[in-house]
């Protein structure tokens, strides 16, 4: 484990593995650098890249300086890119994709960007989270109701079927990992604020994101991800869309399906 210090003094923990061009991995909700599926993907990518796999603030071994704001996470990513030599490829999954898009739009030195299933709601007919989704998620966490927050985030926020919660409770190890990072769910909810209301994307905030960008969507994923992917490639300056079986993140992260897609995009 190594440590880098973000702009506000927060210590960000990361692992550096592999050889080759720098690639920074940005996890989504519930994930962290030692999450089993994340590690499988990192290990495959490390055969081709120097992979920087970090704990987003509030997770794992990273600090959690308050108050939180999405801008602080952009600064954390900048610190990681600086640690990687000043420029890097960047991959972001789900809410992590929303974070890396924000970072790319702010002008960070990202040479290539992979945006993996951002859960944007761009069609009025798609299912939307409650209007107070970020606020209520934060209220549950502030009240110490982590179990309720996990259920609310998954079912009311992300649209997971209700039966998934009792199923997860039957897997104590999995539920323990979810609870360990549940305190950061309000952060993920805030990263999606303004992008989950069923309105079209303007793309103005990403005008500076001119680096080659790959938008990744799984064929098995719900329609909202396909709609978001199609909308993103229309507004990003230099993006292309790949839709392929195994790229969805509604099931366990499929390293064997994701790694070849990333490798091909980053090496060509």
DSSP helix/strand/coil, 203? coil
Confidence band for 167, pLDDT divided at 50, 70 and 90: confident
Domain residues for 170?
Answer: 133-191
Same domain, 137 and 241: no
Which residue matches tokens 């952009």?
A: 74
State how far the alpha carbon of 160 is from the alpha carbons of 39, 141, 152, 212, in Å.
24, 20, 10, 32
Q: What is the CA radius of gyration of the chain?
A: 17
Same domain, 118 and 218: yes
pLDDT at 75 over 80: yes
Measured distance CA(188)–CA(119) in Å, rounded: 11
Same domain, 178 and 206: no
Kindly report the backbone phi and psi dihedral angles of residue 88, in degrees, each rounded to the nearest multiple of 5, phi listed first: -165, 160
Q: pLDDT per residue over 24-62, tens digit each?
A: 999 999 999 999 889 999 999 999 999 999 999 999 999
Measured distance CA(158)–CA(224) in Å, rounded: 10
pLDDT at 247 over 90: yes
Confidence band for 234, pLDDT divided at 50, 70 and 90: very high
Same domain, 162 and 213: no
Confidence band for 116, pLDDT divided at 50, 70 and 90: very high
Q: What is the pLDDT of residue 170?
A: 77
Number of domains in the chain: 2
Same domain, 240 and 146: no
Q: What is the pLDDT of residue 168?
A: 76
Same domain, 114 and 144: no
Same domain, 259 and 175: no
Of 98, 122, 118, 120, give the one whose Cα is nearest residue 199. 122
Same domain, 177 and 237: no
Question: Of 169, 191, 213, at which residue does a domain stop?
Answer: 191
Measured distance CA(238)–CA(209) in Å, rounded: 8
Q: What is the pLDDT of residue 199?
A: 92
Same domain, 222 and 99: yes
- Tokens read off for 248: 């969805």
Measured distance CA(203)–CA(215) in Å, rounded: 14
Expressed in angstroms, the distance from the first to the final Cα of the chain is: 31
- Tokens read off for 6: 């973000």
Same domain, 157 and 226: no
Find out whether the peptide bond into 67 is cis, omega within 30 degrees of 0.
Answer: yes
pLDDT at 252 over 70: no
* Residue 222 belongs to domain with CATH number: 3.40.50.1820
Same domain, 179 and 208: no
- Tokens read off for 46: 């490390």
pLDDT at 251 over 70: no
Same domain, 108 and 17: yes
pLDDT at 65 over 80: yes
């Amino acid at each position: 484990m190594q440590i880098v210090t973000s702009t506000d003094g927060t210590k960000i923990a990361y692992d550096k593995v592999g050889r080759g061009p720098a690639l920074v991995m940005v996890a989504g909700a519930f994930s962290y650098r030692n999450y089993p599926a994340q590690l499988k993907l990192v290990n495959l990518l490390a055969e081709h890249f120097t992979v920087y796999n970090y704990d987003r603030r509030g997770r794992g071994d990273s600090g959690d300086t308050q108050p939180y704001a999405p801008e602080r996470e952009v600064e954390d990513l900048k610190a990681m890119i600086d640690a990687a030599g000043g420029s890097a490829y960047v991959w972001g999954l789900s809410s992590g994709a929303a974070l890396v898009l924000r970072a790319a739009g702010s002008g960070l030195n990202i040479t290539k960007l992979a945006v993996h299933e951002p859960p944007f709601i761009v069609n009025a007919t798609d299912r939307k989270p409650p209007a107070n989704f970020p606020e209520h998620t934060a209220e549950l966490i502030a009240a110490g109701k982590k179990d309720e927050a996990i259920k609310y985030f998954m079912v009311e926020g992300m649209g997971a079927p209700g039966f998934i919660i009792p199923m997860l409770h039957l897997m104590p190890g999995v539920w323990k990992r979810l609870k360990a990072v549940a305190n950061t769910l309000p952060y993920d909810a805030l990263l999606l604020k303004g992008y989950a209301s069923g309105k079209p994307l303007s793309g103005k905030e990403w005008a500076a994101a001119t680096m080659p960008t790959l938008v990744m969507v799984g064929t098995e994923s719900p329609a909202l991800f396909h709609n978001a992917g199609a909308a993103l490639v229309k507004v990003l300056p230099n993006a292309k869309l790949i839709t392929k079986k195994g790229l969805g993140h509604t099931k366990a992260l499929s390293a064997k399906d994701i790694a070849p897609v990333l490798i091909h995009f980053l090496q060509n």
